[in-house]
């Protein structure tokens, strides 16, 4: 997805600097070319040698900046070289300098000498993060279209305080980097509200047994990440899942198809784009036992009844300005049943994806599909990561 892209990672002085090792290592493994800058205070937490080893290139410090060892100024070379700059951890000090375009070290000079997108991952003590001046600087910086921010998470901090201020986890930073390298920083979903369903539903027979499916919700998660990174306001309605919800996404966990239907209908009126990627059950046990059934009490034939057809109801309720996209997980011929669903459910588009192909479908990090819409468009999405497939889908929707 991001081969031969160039990312400059600037490390600020904070205990969260240790997380950058995983970011650098992961990006290198997927083919990204890395350069690293460390501020003077960052070197108190992590060494240039560590990051040079992981990036396979010497890491730069202010000592390199102030010494004329290059044919051109170092900050100019680095600023022109980068496709993306990541600043993590972003400290209150560096945040203030960037907000007021100050340049007194290699990091800040390089940012001012560049034109590429800049991804910011702040990390600091809760009281520091919540200071009015810090929040003012943060909001001011994000009004500049070059800057993208991953808000802080809440949890136990290194100072033993529990609250906001934790830097985003490495995988979340890596995913955001992948998105920005794919989109080159475009925000074509700004002011759009995207409603996504994800994962499988569970229809319980008793407290421990249920009818379900293998869906993990990874495709819906990727759709939420892609939409968020392109500027949308995202609501994610998801079944039981093992992954963390991205910072900035409104997540609503559900279990059954009935709960998903109620939630999707509730949030439908405020959505511009609705993507129904969840694997919703078709039937449920007719009767539910509040107590666990003994093995000998299990019915020989399980009476079933249909669950609500959520996407058909959403199609009936949606307004002309809203776009409704469905998914069709199929084996064998994936196009014919997907087209039937597209027209019978009155959808705007549908994504037909095979679940009997290697490294595709349920549980996989990758996917492939055929995108179909009611205008007759048919576009193949070749095997790729689910994040990249999510971006392809939004490309099709935005460019219509």
DSSP string, 127-141: HHHT-HHHHHHHHHH
Residue 214 makes CB contacts below 8 A (sequence gap 6+) with 200, 362, 363
Instruction: Give the three-state DSSP class for 231.
Output: coil
- The tokens of 226 are what? 């892609």
> What pLDDT does 134 receive?
96
Comparison of pLDDT for 161 and 200, the residue scoring more: 200
Query: Residue 178: pLDDT band by 50, 70, 90 thresholds?
Result: very high
Q: What angle do CA 379, 186, 80 make, to 5 degrees?
A: 120
Q: Where are the beta strands (DSSP E) in 270-334?
A: 273-276, 283-285, 304-306, 323-330
Residue written as tokens 């102030």?
Answer: 66
Residues with catalytic function: 159
pLDDT for residue 357: 85
Domains 6-183 and 193-398 belong to one CATH topology = yes
Render pLDDT for 248-260 as a digit per residue (tens, 0 to 9): 999 999 999 999 9
The 3-state DSSP class for residue 261 equals helix
Q: Residue 284 in 3-state DSSP?
A: strand
Instruction: Report pLDDT for 181.
Output: 95
Q: Would you state the pLDDT for residue 358?
A: 83
The residue behind tokens 């990051």 is: 51
Q: What is the pLDDT of residue 68?
A: 66
Q: Which pLDDT does position 112 carry in this prediction?
A: 97
Q: How far is CA 18 from the centre of its chain?
A: 22
Which band of pLDDT confidence, cut at 50, 70 and 90, is reported for residue 390?
Answer: very high
pLDDT category at 350 given cuts 50, 70, 90 is: very high
How far apart (Å, rounded) are the C-alpha atoms in residues 349 and 220?
Answer: 16
Any bridge partners for residue 6, and if so which? 33
Q: Both tokens of residue 309?
A: 């057809």
Domain 193-398 falls under CATH 3.30.390.50: no
In the chain, the percentage of residues whose pLDDT exceeds 90 is 87
Are residues 23 and 52 in contact, defined by beta-carbon separation less than 8 angstroms?
no
What pLDDT is attached to residue 1?
52
Please report, for the chain, the start and end positions of each structural domain, with discontinuous segments joined by +. Answer: 6-183, 193-398
Confidence band, pLDDT 50/70/90 cuts, at residue 153: confident
Q: At residue 166, what are phi and psi to the nearest 5 degrees? A: -70, 135
CA-CA-CA-CA torsion sign (217, 220, 222, 225): negative
Q: Give the SS3 label for residue 353.
A: strand
How many CA atoms lie within 13 Å of 315's alpha carbon, on the beta-carbon side?
17
Q: What are 264-281's pLDDT values in tens digits?
A: 999 999 999 999 999 999
Beta strand pairing call for 84-90 and 33-38: unpaired
Helix (H, G, I), strand (E, B) or coil at 86: strand
Packing angle of the helix pair 386-398, 170-183 (nearest 10 deg): 40
Instruction: Give phi and psi for 62, each to the nearest 5.
Output: -60, -25
Residue 366 to residue 219: CA distance in whole angstroms: 9
Classify domain 6-183 at the CATH superfamily level. Answer: Flavin prenyltransferase-like (3.40.50.1950)
Give the per-residue pLDDT at 4.
64
pLDDT tens, position by position, 295-336: 999 988 999 999 999 999 999 999 999 999 999 998 999 999
Cα gap 134→138, rounded to integer Å:
6
Q: What's the average model confidence in pLDDT over 210-237?
A: 96
Nearest to 276 by CA among 295, 292, 257: 257
Q: Cis bond leading into 392, ω under 30°?
A: no
User: Looking at residue 399, what is its pLDDT?
Assistant: 80
Beta carbons within 8 Å of 349's beta carbon, 6+ residues apart: 323, 324, 325, 326, 342, 371, 372, 373, 374, 396, 397
Question: Taking a C-beta distance cutoff of 8 angstroms, is the pair 275, 238 a contact?
Answer: no
Quick check: 374 pLDDT over 60? yes
Average pLDDT of the chain, as a whole number: 94
Mean pLDDT along residues 331-360: 93
The answer to whether the predicted template modeling score (pTM) of the entire model surpasses 0.85 is yes
Give yes or no for residue 3 having a pLDDT over 60: no
Read off the pLDDT band of 69 (50, 70, 90).
low
């Amino acid at each position: 997805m991001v081969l031969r892209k160039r990312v400059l990672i600037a490390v600020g002085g904070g205990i969260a600097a240790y997380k950058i090792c995983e970011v650098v290592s992961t990006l290198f493994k997927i083919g990204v070319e890395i350069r690293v800058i460390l501020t003077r205070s960052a070197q108190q937490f992590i060494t240039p040698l560590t990051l040079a080893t992981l990036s396979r290139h010497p890491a730069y410090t202010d000592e390199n900046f102030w010494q004329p060892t290059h044919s051109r100024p170092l900050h100019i070379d680095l600023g022109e070289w980068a496709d993306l700059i990541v600043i993590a951890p972003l400290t209150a000090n560096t945040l203030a300098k960037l907000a007021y375009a100050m340049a007194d070290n290699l990091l800040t000079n390089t940012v001012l000498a560049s034109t590429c997108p800049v991804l910011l991952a702040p990390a600091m003590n809760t009281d520091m993060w919540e200071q009015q001046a810090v929040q003012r600087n943060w909001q001011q910086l994000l009004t500049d279209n070059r800057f993208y921010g991953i808000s802080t998470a809440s949890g136990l901090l290194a100072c033993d305080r529990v609250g906001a201020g934790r830097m985003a986890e490495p995988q979340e930073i890596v995913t955001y980097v992948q998105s920005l390298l794919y989109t080159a920083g475009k925000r074509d979903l700004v002011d759009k509200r995207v409603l996504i369903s994800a994962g499988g539903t569970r229809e319980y027979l008793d407290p421990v047994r249920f009818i379900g499916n293998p869906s993990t919700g990874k495709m819906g998660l990727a759709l939420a990440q892609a939409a968020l990174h392109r500027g949308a306001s995202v609501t994610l309605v998801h079944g039981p899942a093992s992954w963390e919800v991205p910072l900035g996404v409104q997540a609503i966990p559900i279990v059954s198809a009935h709960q998903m239907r109620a939630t999707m209908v509730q949030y439908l009126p405020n959505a511009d784009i609705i993507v129904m990627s969840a694997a919703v059950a078709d039937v449920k046990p007719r009767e539910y036992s509040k107590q666990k059934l003994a093995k000998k009490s299990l019915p020989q034939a399980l009476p079933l009844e249909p669950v609500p057809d959520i996407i058909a109801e959403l199609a009936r309720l949606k307004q002309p300005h809203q776009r409704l996209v469905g998914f069709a997980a199929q084996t064998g011929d994936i196009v014919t049943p997907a087209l039937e669903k597209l027209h019978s459910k009155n959808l705007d588009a549908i994504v037909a994806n095979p679940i009997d192909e290697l490294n595709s479908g349920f549980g996989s990090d990758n996917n492939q599909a055929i995108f179909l819409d009611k205008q007759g468009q048919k576009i193949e999405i070749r095997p790729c990561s689910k994040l990249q497939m999510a971006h392809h889908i939004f490309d099709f929707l935005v460019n219509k």
